[in-house]
Amino acid sequence: PQSMQLQKELMALQNDPPPGMTLNEKSVQNSITQWIVDMEGAPGTLYEGEKFQLLFKFSGRYPFDSPQVMFTGDNVPVHPHVYSNGHICLSILTEDWSPALSVQSVCLSIISMLSSCKEKRRPPDNSFYVRTCNKNPKKTKWWYHDTLHYTTGFRRRWEENVKVTKGNLPLKLI
């Protein structure tokens, strides 16, 4: 079932990709469970003409489990939801995932996220996060605070890694 679903989504992405997105055909030659999608910043946005790559990794539980998605390569966009290691803080990639979503809907969400950006900057906790995070962004427990449409911080499962005291949080979580 997973390979049939991935084949179906692969064909959809090849035949009708979201604007500015193209499947990197070489990336799927060896494995159906790992794709690279080439992306170009949308016209009229801060990222117009910039080129990025998204790495999609699918587990054996896809589509019931979300794909692991991150920016890869030499050019990671500077954005309040994108860490310099390529990790993306986007709720549909974790707890808001639904099997009704697809690779195309993830791509459209990322396009929308970049297109709505008003200022190129990293998340305020970028340095701390990049030093301490798991290589798999799905292992991060993200805390969203989007009243201003950007992330003000994250908090990992501290019990597993750090003894929390009032003074050692990377950011004040409001």
- Rounded to 10°, the helix 103-115/2-15 angle is 50
Q: Which residues are marked as active site?
A: 89
List helix spans (H) across 49-157.
Answer: 103-115, 126-132
Give 162's contacts (C-beta < 8 A, 6+ positions apart).
168
With vertex at residue 64, the alpha carbon angle to CA 105 and CA 104, rounded to the nearest 5 degrees, is: 15
How far, in Å, CA of 158 to CA of 174, rounded?
17
Phi–psi pair at 53, nearest 5 degrees: -130, 135
- Strand-pairing partners, residue 72, are 53
- Count of beta carbons in the 10 Å neighbourhood of residue 136: 11
